[in-house]
Each structure stands twice: as structure tokens, then as C-alpha cells.
Amino acid sequence: MHTPAALSGNGPTDFPGILRHHGLAPQPPAHTPVTGHHSPVTPTHATTILAFKFADGVLVAGDRRATAGNVIMYDRADKVLEIDRHSLMAIAGVPATAWEMARVLEHSFHFFRRTQLAEMSLEGKVRALSKLLRDNLGLVLQGVGVVVPIFATFDTAAGIPRVYFYDPMGAQFEAADFAATGSGSPAVRAVLHHENTYARKPLRKLKAPEAVLLALRALDTAAESDSATGGVDRRARVFPIVKLITRKGIETLPESKLARLYKANLAD
């Protein structure tokens, strides 16, 4: 009986490598920058995302706006994607590339779990996303596939939440308390820093409702100065995506709950 190369020790053992080995996925593009002209394609970009640790775990949120140049392409984009029961990937950058990375990452974790009969280690999960970003470097250099994600998870082995952010080349950094990326991130970081340093309670002491209100306020603040950030659309009743990761797993807050919290505490 023929044994696949991936299982006989003669081929790659990681999920993306197996796909490429059997011709089921494109090879990483050559790392060659475009010179002499610019691509006529205006890629769609998704911004802004944030994550911070609160009393029970990690909150991850993203506004809903996707833009192409100065055009609003979509106002209901999902930028916070579930990878497994305790892990989320939030995306800033080109959604077409980021969503594909999220799908490959999800299948990689599932493939490892099915073949090794165990969960992939936290270090393995974090580095798997780094590898996908490095494989995307060719598109980054051409200016058409930049992705700057945040990876958040609850480390069940250690019993603590963790937040990682990346640069477009795949370098990973662990955030002590919070992270934000995307065009509206400077305003978001300012709000989170002020709350963490000067407010009555630091981020890690906030209960879930307080953390959600802070996320809404931060994204709304970013929308005031960054046209690519949607914030809270009061007229269309479009609210950011907000998800919580705790020891129990991932909870997605429905828009009805976000609307009630916003109306009771932040609305004019």
C-alpha cells in the first residue's frame, strides 16, 4: 500500500507544507519588489483592531470598516476570527490575505490535534502564524498583501491570558497588557494607556462589562480622527466585533448587548 510522503518521513509534516508538497496550495511568492511602476490594484484594507487583558481573560475587538484607498468598501467586515476554542486572530491589513491565513492556521491546529492526539503547544501556535507572515513577504514587498495581525489566547496550561502582535515580516512580540494595530491604532493605544495608567482601575482589574465599554470608547475615539476606522455607527446601528476569551472558551457579544451597553453608558 502506498504511504503518503508526509506520513513516511520523506516529506513536510506541517499542514501548509503538505498542501504545497501535493500541489494543493500555491508556493510562496518570490521576494522580489516591484520596481519602476506601481500596481494598478488598490487593495482593500481592514482596520482597526485591539486586544487587552481584563480580569477574566482577554478582550479582542475590531471595527467593521474595510476601505480601498478613500473608498469605503464594506461596513460590516469581521476582523476577529476564531481559530480554536481558546484562540482568536484579529486582522489589520488586506482581508483577502488575512482571511486565508486564518483558514490555514485553523486547519493547521486541527491537523496537529488529529494527527498527534494532542493540542499544539502555545509556542507552536504563535510561530505558525509567524511562518505564514514570512511566507507572505513577497506580496508585502510588492505592496499588495500587508497583514499586521494580533493573536490572543488563553493559556490553559498556565491559567493566564496571552496577547501577541506581529510586524508584516513575521516578528512576534508578547504584549504585557494590550496591543492595537491598524490605521486607528495610535488613538486606541493612547486611550488604553491612559486607562491602564491613570484611571481608577488598571485594565487587568476591569470586569467584562467595563472592558467592553472601554473597547467601544477606544474604537469610537479612533474613528474621530481616522476615516478608515468605523467605530460605532449610531445611524446604521453597526457596532464593532467584540469577543472575550476566558478559561471557559470564547464568547461573542451580540450587537443587541453592545447596543444596550452603549446606550446606557456612552450615548449622548
- Listed residue (104, 110, 125, 213) closest to 174, CA to CA: 125
Cite the active site residues.
47
Question: 89 has which bridge partners?
Answer: 81, 151
Strands in the chain per DSSP E: 45-46, 49-54, 57-62, 66-68, 71-74, 80-84, 87-90, 150-155, 160-166, 172-175, 178-181, 241-246, 249-252
Residues 75 and 28: their CA atoms lie apart, in Å, by 31
- Chain-centre distance for alpha carbon 193: 20
Place of cell 456612552: 266
Residue 46's φ and ψ, nearest 5 degrees, are: -115, 125
- Listed residue (130, 151, 186) closest to 80, CA to CA: 151
> What are the Cα distances from residue 131, in Å, to 84, 186, 238?
18, 27, 34
